[in-house]
């Protein structure tokens, strides 16, 4: 039996989850892995709360963790960005292997941190909580060339869109319920604007496409513009609207984008509801494999943290992250170069010939209509909605067409447009 001593930085819900799992499953883990895992020190900048540390020492100095020669590995669960980044850097420099759940730090600084060779760094918990998606990409599918990685990777957005879909709730009401239930923060900006999903996509993209983590090049839209009318019209057309992170290798470069997306109801991913996360991976040999589960929560995230801890403790050299990453190998495409089908909802006056004018405008930009429905005015309104599914079109053409349609005198108010992915 090999004893491995952990130091934990931070004492929030995930740290608590790690302590709880070890309290109940320490013996089971030892039987399975041959590792006797012990938390010997916990450090948090705030004074020790009333938490059972199971005999671990407590200190308010984070540096105590990597200064402690008895500690074999450090788990970073501070959260935030700057302090956590500095801490991870210092711990690696001190030769301590680091396990982190911090997606913001990895997305922004992962390339720098992984170039340290002093000690290994693992971050399974940074993407999709309990789901071992990083291991699936790096180990289970290691022999595959990846075509796309598409994920519902923000539980808050998925909860809100599911509530809008199933209960017809308005965005603001669904958000308020999510906040009441603890599924959204008091300040939900990071989640509903897509920043959190983009952090995770940056990590998935780097691993799947053997490229650097590249948060800055990801195109990001949140879910704040999605209305329950859009969800209902999409449903009539055979689609659900999900907030996706999508990375896809094309002949011209890499698509990397986060936005609300129509996906066919027949896709398994379309049935991933509430706060669940799921990542669909298409690769050349394995085909479409999908991984789903809880994307957040103390115990679920701690499960992923401990998987990394035990893996490192057993020394899994294969999991060592991007080697020989060639920054010039894949180019992330600017959003104007993306090709996508579109859902359009165009509010217009109820006059004859409007549909023909819209169709002509689209046609003049080479945009074909796949399906269309015209919706009568809602009670108390005098505008009709022309709802159109387009065929695949280049983003720049769509932007130009939208300017033209928007300028039609019958069009009143702004046009809703949401991308469609069939995930073939």
Q: How far apart are CA 175 and CA 167, in angstroms?
A: 13
Give, as ranges, the residues between 29 and 48 that touch its own copies (CB under 8 A).
Answer: 29, 31-34
Site stretch for its own copies (CB under 8 A), options 50-58, 270-278, 351-359, 366-374: 270-278
CB of 34 vs its own copies, minimal distance in Å: 7
Min dist. Cβ of residue 299 to its own copies (A): 4
Is residue 103 among the annotated active site residues? no
Nearer to its own copies, 11 or 208 (CB): 208
Q: Does 291 bind its own copies (CB under 8 A)?
A: yes
Confirm or reject binding of residue 288 to its own copies (CB under 8 A): yes
Q: Contact with its own copies (CB under 8 A): which of 46, 115, 117, 324?
A: 324
Of the residues 96, 103, 200, 242, only one is catalytic, namely 200
Under rule CB under 8 A, residue 84 binds its own copies: no
Q: Determine the size of the site formed for its own copies (CB under 8 A).
A: 60
Among 45, 54, 112, 139, binds its own copies (CB under 8 A): 139
Q: Does 302 bind its own copies (CB under 8 A)?
A: yes
- Is residue 182 part of the contact set for its own copies (CB under 8 A)? no
Alpha carbons 74 and 52: distance in angstroms, whole number: 19
Interface with its own copies includes 142 (CB under 8 A)?
A: yes
Residue 292 engages its own copies in binding (rule: CB under 8 A): yes
Closest distance to its own copies from the beta carbon of 54 (Å): 15
> Would you say 130 or 383 has its CB closer to its own copies?
130
Among 40, 100, 135, 214, binds its own copies (CB under 8 A): 135
User: Of 179-187, 238-246, 276-284, 358-366, which part binds its own copies (CB under 8 A)?
Assistant: 276-284
Q: Which residues bind its own copies (CB under 8 A)?
A: 17, 20-21, 24-25, 28-29, 31-34, 124, 130-132, 135-136, 138-145, 210, 268, 271-272, 276, 283-294, 297, 299-300, 302-304, 306-307, 310-311, 313-318, 323-324
Give the catalytic positions in this structure.
Answer: 200
């Amino acid at each position: 039996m090999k004893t491995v001593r952990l130091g934990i930085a931070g004492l929030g819900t995930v740290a608590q989850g790690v302590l709880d799992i070890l309290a109940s499953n320490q013996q089971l883990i030892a039987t399975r892995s041959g590792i006797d895992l012990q938390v010997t020190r916990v450090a948090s900048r705030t004074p020790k709360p009333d938490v059972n540390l199971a005999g671990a020492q407590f200190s308010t100095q984070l540096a105590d963790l990597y200064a402690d020669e008895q500690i074999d590995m450090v788990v970073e669960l501070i959260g935030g960005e700057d302090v956590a980044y500095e801490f991870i850097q210092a711990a690696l420099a001190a030769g301590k292997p680091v396990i982190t759940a911090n997606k913001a730090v990895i997305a922004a600084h992962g390339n720098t941190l992984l170039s340290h060779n002093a000690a290994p760094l693992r971050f399974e918990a940074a993407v999709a909580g309990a789901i071992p998606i990083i291991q699936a990409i790096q180990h289970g599918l290691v022999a595959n060339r990846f075509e796309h990685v598409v994920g519902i990777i923000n539980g808050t957005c998925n909860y809100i869109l599911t509530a809008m879909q199933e209960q017809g709730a308005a965005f603001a009401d669904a958000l308020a319920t999510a906040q009441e239930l603890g599924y959204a923060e008091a300040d939900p900006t990071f989640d509903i604007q897509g920043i959190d999903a983009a952090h995770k996509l940056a990590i998935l993209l780097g691993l799947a496409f053997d490229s650097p983590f590249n948060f800055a090049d990801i195109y990001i839209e949140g879910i704040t513009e999605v209305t329950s009318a859009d969800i209902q019209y999409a449903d009539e057309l055979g689609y659900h609207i999900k907030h996706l992170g999508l990375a896809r290798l094309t002949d011209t470069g890499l698509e990397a984008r986060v936005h609300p997306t129509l996906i066919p109801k027949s896709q398994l991913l379309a049935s991933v509801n509430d706060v669940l996360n799921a990542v669909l991976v298409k690769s050349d040999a394995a085909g479409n494999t999908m991984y789903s589960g809880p994307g957040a929560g103390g115990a679920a995230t701690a499960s992923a943290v401990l998987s990394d801890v035990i893996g490192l403790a057993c020394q899994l050299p294969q999991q060592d992250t991007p080697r020989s990453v060639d920054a010039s190998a894949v180019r992330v495409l600017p959003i104007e170069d993306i090709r996508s089908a579109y859902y359009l909802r165009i509010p217009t006056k109820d006059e004859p010939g409007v549909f023909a004018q819209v169709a002509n405008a689209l046609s003049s930009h080479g945009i074909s209509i796949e399906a269309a429905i015209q919706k009568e005015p809602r009670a108390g309104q005098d505008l009709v909605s022309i709802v159109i599914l387009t065929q695949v079109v280049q983003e720049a053409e769509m932007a130009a067409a939208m300017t033209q349609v928007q300028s039609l005198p019958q069009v009143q108010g702004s046009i809703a447009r949401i991308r469609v992915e069939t995930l073939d």
